Structure 1
Amino acid sequence: MTRLLSHPVRDSVHRPARAGLVQPVAAVLTDRIDDAAVAEAAARMALARRVPLLLIAVMPPHVRRSSLGPASAPVRAVLARVMPKIGPHATGYIPEVFHLPPGRGSRLAAAKELLALATRHRAPDVVAARRGPHGLDAPALIEAAALGGGPFVHAVTPASWVPLRSLSP
């Protein structure tokens, strides 16, 4: 008897999701400390909708584009930082690479390009950090989405750091 395709296999191995007609939730990963909060918020949204995550790894312009794909070492390093946060949610993911444009263009140029990438993947929601690289912070993405009719952008602020309190003797 063959297994039905509608029943997913549940095991501990994370597998990239297939990019079909699903509408994934996009998470903008900029290789900063805020990435964990962004990935976790996006994973919760994706789990509620039962869709995969679109993990967009932002790479600096000085990194060679020819050697960078979703399976390259720099992209895997960015994704490895957030996998412990999204792993327990058991959602699939689609890795994608976004290259920052060279030079200091307009503030919205990079935001429009990133939102176009999310739109090509049919992502109706993009989760980004409040503070980020030039043009890829949540306020710039929100402004670019409002001007261009792009996806809805969710701003995430990481939890503030609190020092551990030691017990006084």
Structure 2
Amino acid sequence: MAAVLTDRVDDVAVAEAAARIALARRVPLLLIAVMPPHIRQSGLGPATAPVRAVLARVMPKIGPLHVGYIPEVFPLPARNGPRLTAAKELLGLATRHRAPEVVASRRGPEGLDAFALIEAAALRGGPYVHAVAPSTGTSPRMTTQDPPMARRVMERKPFSDE
């Protein structure tokens, strides 16, 4: 089980959902901290200050669940490649750690939101990707990053009994 942490408000919901799934399946949790490309690449590891800051935000929620976790760093590549490059590389990292499932936020950095990860997972044949909605502090509004199908689903009105 892997959780994609992107230093956003939704990280807590992502980590908590992933920890609960990991606890139910009795597997360790891979916490993947995504670091922006402007952070120095040399010496970037789980013990550096930016990574510890990302992990410190989610530890109060997953610590009480007593789930084993493995911190990992994913440096976000520059935007000069194909659209799904970052998603494929992140899924490759999860696969190397034998994580059959990945939990990600619906709204993440471009190329690492749940929709891009789902698309990349479909192209490469796995792993399964869970999409977590924004936390209660934010409203679930449409963004230009949502794929067209998601926008159509969000625009639908509920069925009426008339």
- What residue ranges of structure 1 are gaps of 5+ in the alignment? 1-24, 163-169
Whole-Å Cα distance in 1 between the matches of residues 93 and 59 of structure 2?
22
Question: CA offsets, 1:60-93, max 9 Å, x none?
Answer: 0111111211111111110000001101110010
1:17-32 matches, cutoff 5 A: 25-32=1-8
Whole-Å Cα distance in 1 between the matches of residues 82 and 126 of structure 2?
18
The residue number in structure 2 matching 1:105 is 81
Whole-Å Cα distance in 2 between the matches of residues 161 and 74 of structure 1?
24
**Higher helix fraction (1 or 2):** 2
Whole-Å Cα distance in 1 between the matches of residues 25 and 36 of structure 2?
32
Q: Size of the alignment, in residue pairs? A: 138
Q: Report percent identity of matched pairs.
A: 79
The letter of the residue matching 2:3 is A
Question: CA offsets, 1:35-79, max 9 Å, x none?
Answer: 000000000001001111100000001111112111111111100
Question: CA offsets, 1:91-124, max 9 Å, x none?
Answer: 0100000011123432211000000000000000
Give 1:156 shift. 0.2
Q: Which of these two proteins has the greater Rg computed from alpha carbons?
A: 1
TM-score scaled by structure 1? 0.79
* Alignment root-mean-square deviation, CA: 1.1
- What residue ranges of structure 2 are gaps of 5+ in the alignment? 139-162
Which contiguous aligned blocks of 4+ residues in structure 1 show a shift greater than 3 angstroms? Answer: none
Assess if the C-alpha contact under 8 Å between 2:45 and 2:73 holds in 1: yes
Q: 2:44 aligns with which of 68, 71, 78?
A: 68
The residue number in structure 2 matching 1:93 is 69
TM-score scaled by structure 2? 0.82
